Structure 1
Amino acid sequence: MNKQKRYEIFSRWRDDNPHPTTELEYSSPFELLIAVILSAQATDVGVNKATRKLYPVANTPQAIYDLGVDGLKEYIKTIGLFNAKAENVIKTCKMLVELHDSVVPDTREALEALPGVGRKTANVVLNTAFGQPTMAVDTHIFRVSNRTKIAPGKNVNEVEQKLMRFIPKAFILDAHHWLILHGRYVCVARKPKCGACMIEDLCEFKDKTEI
């Protein structure tokens, strides 16, 4: 895929959705951080259902830490892997209180030092909460990047590096949201909806569908 095609793809996505954002519900960097930790191997819809009950009760590091692991589990038990996630969230809240004055750090190194925060979670927080040009490669972005040939790679790190290198600078800040939304609703895993795709003529996927 060449530069012109990539530029046109992202131009179309921008024209269709000029201000994309995450579908996770949050009102502060801390709420976003916790929601992203909870979203691992879970849907945004499922996480939002839980946080709608949790955040009115506790939405600061100290308040969630005060709930304790068992108290937090009551709010997130509908989410997959909730036992491990509860442990990580409580440990993260403790670290935020003790090491960061209850403020979510805006550096990759500090974020990745928090329990339950890997590179993808750190990238989401850096991009969405702090406006940094990062690329959080999840299953949707990995699939879209390989299927369309925007940035094919054998693993998430390779895809991330290629996306950061290939995506025109004008689009880099919002690119990961457009890619996720495209993968979630159009270029879906089992059978992509090529017939309803606004970039079908630019995509280099060989086995296009009629739908």
Structure 2
Amino acid sequence: MRPADRLEMFNRLKAANPNPTTELNYTSPFELLVSVVLSAQATDVGVNKATAQLYPIANTPEAIFALGEEGLIPYINTIGLFRNKAKHVIGLCAMLIEKHNSQVPSDRTSLEALPGVGRKTANVILNTIFKQPTMAVDTHIFRLGNRTGLATGKTVLDVEQKLLKNIPKEFLLDAHHWLILHGRYVCQARKPKCNECIINDLCEYSGK
């Protein structure tokens, strides 16, 4: 995709949605961190249903840690891989209490050291909470980057690095949210809605 087309692409996405944000429900950095960990291989809708029951009862590292894995599982057992995620969340809470004064850290190294937190989750937190221009590449963004020609690559890291390079700087802070929403609702995996797409004429997808 040409630089002029990339600029036009994000001008249109911004005009359609000036203030994009995550679809995960949260009221604190800690709640978002837990929700993102729970969202791996799960839908935001499914995570929000579970946390709507959990967070009124426990929404701090101390409160969730006090539940323990067996106490946490009934709240999240509708989410895929819930046993493993319960283990991660309890471990994450313990580390936040022990090493970070129960606060979500604002640097990548500390975030990625937390149980259940990989590069993608760290990027979400750094971007959404700490307003850093990071790019969390999930399946939607990986597909969209390759399909449109915005950022092609064989690995998630390839696409992430090319997105950071190719997206005009003034759009980088919000680009993650624009792209994930576009991939989720328009540029879908099996049958992209090209006839509804506001960047159809800029896209390099051969199947449109």
Deviation at 1:206, TM superposition (A): 1.0
Match for residue 165 of structure 1? 165
Deviation at 1:2, TM superposition (A): 1.1
Q: Summarize deviations over 1:180-211 as a string: whole Å, max 9, x none.
A: 00000000000110001000011011111xxx
State the alpha-carbon separation in 2 of the partners of residues 70 and 132 from structure 1: 35
Q: Which runs of 5+ in 2 are unaligned?
A: none
Q: Secondary structure at the match of 1:65?
A: helix
Matched-pair identity in %: 68
Alignment of 1:43-62 (within 5 A): 43-62=43-62
Alignment of 1:1-211 (within 5 A): 1-208=1-208
Q: Which runs of 5+ in 1 are unaligned?
A: none
Q: Summarize deviations over 1:4-39 as a string: whole Å, max 9, x none.
A: 000000000000000000000001100000000000
Q: Secondary structure at the match of 1:172?
A: helix
State the alpha-carbon separation in 2 of the partners of residues 191 and 43 from structure 1: 19
State the alpha-carbon separation in 2 of the partners of residues 86 and 200 from structure 1: 41
State the alpha-carbon separation in 2 of the partners of residues 143 and 178 from structure 1: 14
* One-letter amino acid matched to 1:142: F
State the alpha-carbon separation in 1 of the partners of residues 68 and 195 from structure 2: 50
Q: Secondary structure at the match of 1:174?
A: helix
State the alpha-carbon separation in 2 of the partners of residues 139 and 21 from structure 1: 18
State the alpha-carbon separation in 1 of the partners of residues 29 and 129 from structure 2: 5
* One-letter amino acid matched to 1:148: T
* One-letter amino acid matched to 1:117: V
Q: Secondary structure at the match of 2:173?
A: coil
Q: Secondary structure at the match of 1:104?
A: coil
TM-score normalised by structure 1 residue count: 0.98
Q: Summarize deviations over 1:142-197 as a string: whole Å, max 9, x none.
A: 00000000001111000000000000001000001000000000000001100010
* One-letter amino acid matched to 1:150: L
Q: Summarize deviations over 1:36-73 as a string: whole Å, max 9, x none.
A: 00000000000000000000000000000000000000
Q: Secondary structure at the match of 1:173?
A: helix
* One-letter amino acid matched to 1:75: Y
State the alpha-carbon separation in 1 of the partners of residues 156 and 51 from structure 2: 28
Aligned residues: 208
List structure 1 segments (4+ residues) > 2 angstroms apart after TM superposition: none
How large is the RMSD of aligned CA atoms in angstroms?
0.4
